Amino acid sequence: FIQYYLDGKESIVSNFSFSKLTGEQTVFYTSGKLLSKKNYLNDTLHGGETNYYENGKVQWSTNYKMGAEHGSYKYYHENGQLWTEKIHVDGLLMSATTFSDTGDQIENGTLENGNGTLKHFQKTGELYLIETYEDGVLVSEEQFGEFDW
Question: Distance between CA 75 and CA 121 in Å, rounded?
Answer: 13
Q: Which residues pair with 92 in a beta bridge?
A: 89
Amino acid identity, position 32: G
Q: What is the pLDDT of residue 147?
A: 72
Amino acid identity, position 69: E
Note the pLDDT tens digit of each residue in 88-117: 999 999 999 998 888 899 889 999 999 999
Note the pLDDT tens digit of each residue in 70-93: 999 999 998 999 999 999 999 999
Residues 6+ apart with CB under 8 A from 15: 1, 21, 22, 23, 24, 25, 40
Q: What is the pLDDT of residue 107?
A: 87
Question: Distance between CA 55 and CA 143 in Å, rounded?
Answer: 30
Pairing type for strands 16-17 and 2-4 reads unpaired
Confidence (pTM): 0.83
Amino acid identity, position 120: H
Note the pLDDT tens digit of each residue in 15-66: 998 999 999 999 999 999 999 999 999 999 999 999 999 999 999 999 999 9
Note the pLDDT tens digit of each residue in 118-139: 998 887 778 889 999 999 999 9
Strands across the sheet containing 137-143: 116-121, 127-134, 137-143
Question: Distance between CA 131 and CA 116 in Å, rounded?
Answer: 8
**Residue 9 banded pLDDT, cuts 50, 70, 90:** very high
**Residue 149 banded pLDDT, cuts 50, 70, 90:** low
